[in-house]
Amino acid sequence: LHARQSGARRLGVLDYLDAGALAFAHGIIALLSWTLLAVILEDAFIGAEVYALPLLALSGAAASVTAYLVFYSATHMDLSLLALILAVFLIEGVLAAMLTASDPYWWRDNLSALGMTNDLSAMTFNLTLIVAGFIVTTLARYATRGIPTSHAHGIRWVRLCLILVGVFLAFVGVFPVNEFFFIHTAFASGMAVVFGVLVIRLPAWIPGIPRPFVALGWLFIAAIVVLAVFFVVRYYTLTAVELVAGILVFTWIILFIRNAAALETDINAT
């Protein structure tokens, strides 16, 4: 990713923060993945006796596999892999918070209810949003470099919108809804507004963006609006609306990264 920078330069504070956030994301993904596998095996072998030596061997094998995968990820890091890490980290972090929530009926309120308590579940949820938001800003800064456009400031506006989405997502985790309701709601709503502006203005900012992708963005916005209407008429819960809207937004971001990379590849090939 650092090679995408124009010209050689010394690493700055943001570069070290990027590395720290990615290292943390890799660690959490490994922890949650192995924990999930351990829980599944525990339920599959109820009453089975576990011996110390095989357990140590399995632990060593798990550590070795984790070290290899992290090393491979670090040495082959590109925008597509970074987007995949963001998706896996966000999904596993939110699912872990859901499964360990002290209130089994949290979904009756909203998705942000996962971060309202003072237990490990709330800390997991809020920390997931904070780190995921920072990774989004990393993607925004690197993915928008080298995209061809005839608009004088198009790339700057796209980068700004993506960074705002990441910053607002992080602040949603920083300010729990039960303690900072208006601030939390403002950042959550602002994230949706910025996403809408980005989708609507994208064809003007990057004229070469594929039209099917532009149409997909409009389709996602329409779906979010329909979900909001379903919530107003009490057909859907707010949790369902937030979950689907979040999935659509991050799916769009990942697809945008792939389309941006394709545009850059095409211009370099010519």
Task: Return per-residue pLDDT of the chain as tens, 270 residues.
Answer: 555 554 455 667 777 887 888 888 888 888 888 888 888 888 788 777 877 888 889 889 999 999 999 898 888 888 788 888 888 888 888 888 888 888 888 888 888 888 887 778 888 888 889 888 888 888 888 877 777 677 667 788 988 999 999 999 999 988 888 888 889 889 988 888 999 999 999 888 888 888 999 999 999 999 999 988 988 888 888 888 888 888 898 899 888 888 887 777 766 666
Closest residue by Cα to residue 239 from 84, 90, 115, 88: 115
Residue 238 contacts by C-beta under 8 Å, 6 or more apart in sequence? 109, 110, 111, 231
> How far does CA 55 lie from the centroid of its chain?
34
Q: How far apart are CA 102 and CA 125, in angstroms?
A: 13
pLDDT digits (tens, 9 = 90+) for 131-167: 888 888 888 888 777 776 776 677 889 889 999 999 9
Look at residues 212, 201, 226, 222 and name the one whose alpha carbon lies nearest to residue 258: 212
Please report, for the chain, the start and end positions of each structural domain, with discontinuous segments joined by +: 78-264
The reported pTM is 0.82
Q: Which residues of 242-267 are buried (b: 16+ CB within 10 A; e: fewer)?
A: bbbbbebbbebbbbbbebbbebbeee
